[in-house]
Amino acid sequence: MRRLLFPTLFTMSVIAASAGSSTAEAVSPLGLWARGDGVAKVKIAPCGGKLCATNTWIRPGTSGEKAGDVLVMSVKKDGEAYTGSAFDPQRNLTVSMTMTVKPQTMVTRGCVLGGILCKSVKWSRIE
């Protein structure tokens, strides 16, 4: 399954892993983020009662992703992480997801097929 979770965001796949932080409260995912592989940058902002991750930049020559693509996330704070689901309207695909957010980094993990296929992606906050 090509880039199983949000090409950018898709690759933002979530079910993050960050067991070990002493903070019991999750840091906000709102803001600008750069994907660890250097392929994409996204802006996470409120949209309705959900969060939307919008591709703001995609490395030239990257197939399957483009600036302006949006991932709509229905997530709730769950201890140190945000858990829920994400809908990728470009692919008509819903994934279960988790985001573990620290002040300067984020790990997203997205799963399909009942958790059989999952992908995690690391992100860095852009100031």
Phi, psi of 41 (to 5 degrees): -130, 140
The answer on pLDDT for 39 being more than 90 is: yes
What's the pLDDT at 25? Answer: 58
Question: Which pair of structure tokens corresponds to residue 4?
Answer: 């199983």
Q: What structural domains does the chain harbor? A: 10-126 (2.40.128.520)
What's the pLDDT at 79? Answer: 86
Contact 124, 41 (CB under 8 A): no
Q: What is the mean pLDDT of residues 50-70?
A: 94
Model confidence, pTM: 0.78
Contact 33, 56 (CB under 8 A): no
Q: Which of 80, 70, 76, 87 is nearest to 105 (CA)?
A: 80
- Which stretch of 6-15, 22-31, 36-45, 103-112 has the lowest confidence by average pLDDT? 6-15
Apex 18 CA angle, 28 and 113, nearest 5: 95
Contact 38, 27 (CB under 8 A): no
What digits encode the pLDDT tens for the residues 81-125? 999 999 999 889 999 999 999 999 999 999 988 778 999 999 999
